[in-house]
Chain A
């Protein structure tokens, strides 16, 4: 027995405060990346009660959408999940295109797939790297972020911006692929594989990392379903639900890829599912590059939807008028209501949009995957220890912009 314990035994009358302690974590706390507040009742180091309070990054996304044109939503959509903005761009494009009942040309569909999967890789790199960093493994974080930067270099060459691309357009993309696009991505792929392998070597047999991840933050399959979890959080709990497989959009039904699922629903499974999804995304990219046509239009051929070419806007009156009307009035979307959903970085990213037939959305509802994953984080954390909040919250990958909108 430690000397200190003996001392405590001697003083039998020593009274310790046994009431739960209320502790406030966040909204500005290093472990609460993003801004989020957790109010918890602690019994020693164990969480006996927890209230997760999001909303510190609420900017009124849905309200803002109701006063611009349909195309003006793209910059807002960028800032939902700002780690993988291209996926949000494509999600919004697909939602409006579903309402317009149009389909973009094949080349554009492959282009969207490749850019989107690159974004997903960047998203998973960030999440896994940050998870490792918060447990003290700084090197994997830097290595993953180094490669994420190379991914972003490609996205920058294509779109002109590293993070907030605003590159999607209704009925196409802002620009066709650059001539070197395929070569650039093909050159990057071995590097991506290499860094995934290196991460595995560094982390997967590290005792500290294993102890903090395995069996911590467990979410059962029933809880995940009931809470509406999707994406890696749901898949790690054993739910084989991937929008790309279950409801294929774009050209995802033409690719051969696997949906990794976990068994235990703990932090470890979430980490490993993301790591494996990076590999599957690379597989998709390889196949997409193989199948993607080098020639052909990227935008639909409909002047009511797509902006005219800049050259003709400056030289012909018809294009000037078309451009003016598209920018000032916005394209007209027929009356109706759709729910369109894609696989975002964190799960099912849904856009529930209502149009009243004008150039402005009547109602835009985003179904943010983070929102329900975060709601379920209470189940993962309760009963655990306060130190487990850090790996668990990291593996949920709450993105403030998307969660709070």
Chain B
């Protein structure tokens, strides 16, 4: 950051630079809201300044201040000469600064976040939606009068038009007791579907958990018996070669 930038700004804007500061080595100029976009444009386009690198845009809430509630600050940097500057403006409740997203693309998201968190709207912003929070959120949480422990109401499912959910995603999403349709499978079919889906489509009744468990147990018993028989047969015949195992 540098004094040269402040001097150049003062030379160009004169009285319209309301205040300058160099506290802690952060050079800063305060301008009125109506000059906000003009100053930003000047910072980027002036040949001496060439502030083409967007750094940050944020807001600070002072609810007790009578003159204007919010401070909006912008930080930019020049990739040509490496200088930095912070520009500040005081924004009243309901006042709308001009958007800077036409000057630096990065301001788009930064302004959306300021809108989301502070409720400051930016004039002519191309896409002023909430960005970190969801659209049903009530209030703006970084305002000082937003209690930190405030709860938000539950949001009902959004109705989305023109979307038909196909099985296995339906009204009863999630996994039922088993995804294998044992009734169909034991009847000779081999359907890898949930029994609940069959009921939704009006084809089969659902097996109760105990019924399903019983049938599974029967299958396990049958399989163990088959394996025991196979092992007995293998004992009778000569052992298979080592290489055949893979």
Binding site for B on A (CB under 8 A): 53-55, 58, 60, 62-64, 66-67, 98-99, 101, 222-223, 225-229, 239, 241, 246, 336-339, 348, 350, 352, 354, 362-363, 365, 367, 371-372, 375-376, 379, 404-405
Contacts and interface: CB of A to CB of B under 8 A. Distances in A.
Given A99-B24, A337-B23, A367 B56 contact: yes
Interface in B97-146: 104-106, 108-110, 113, 117, 130-134, 141-142, 146
B24 A365 contact: no
Contact of A404 (B82, B117, B132): B132
B56 A338 contact: no
A338 B105 contact: no
A228 B132 contact: no
The 7 closest A-B pairs by CB, nearest first: A228-B106, A228-B54, A55-B132, A226-B105, A375-B109, A367-B56, A58-B132
Contacts of B105: 223, 226-227, 375-376, 379
B142 A63 contact: yes
A352 B58 contact: yes
14 contacts: A55-B132, A62-B142, A98-B24, A101-B24, A222-B52, A228-B55, A338-B26, A348-B55, A365-B56, A365-B58, A367-B75, A375-B108, A375-B109, A379-B105
B55 A367 contact: yes
Contacts of A101: 24
Nearest to B108: A375
A151 B18 CA distance: 51
Interface in B63-110: 73, 75, 77, 79, 82, 86, 104-106, 108-110
Contacts of A226: 52, 54, 104-106
Given A226-B52, A362-B60, 9 more contacts: A55-B132, A99-B24, A223-B105, A239-B53, A339-B86, A352-B58, A365-B56, A372-B109, A376-B106
Contacts of A337: 23-24, 26, 60
B183 interface: no
Contacts of A60: 141, 148
B168 to A, nearest CB: 17
B24 to A, nearest CB: 5
Given A336-B23, A363-B60, A228 B133 contact: no
B163 to A, nearest CB: 10
Contacts of B146: 63
Contacts of A54: 131-132
B61 interface: yes
A239 B79 CA distance: 8
Contacts of A241: 53, 77, 79
A351 B141 CA distance: 19
B62 to A, nearest CB: 9
B61 to A, nearest CB: 7
Nearest to B117: A62
A178 B23 CA distance: 38
Given A99-B24, A225-B79, A363-B60, A372 B133 contact: no
B131 to A, nearest CB: 6
Given A64-B148, A339-B86, A228 B56 contact: yes
Contact of A338 (B24, B54, B79, B132): B24
Contacts of B142: 62-63
Nearest to A404: B132
B52 A225 contact: yes
Contacts of B55: 228, 348, 350, 367
A63 B56 contact: no
Interface in B194-208: none
Contacts of B134: 55
Given A55-B131, A228-B104, A363-B60, A371 B23 contact: no
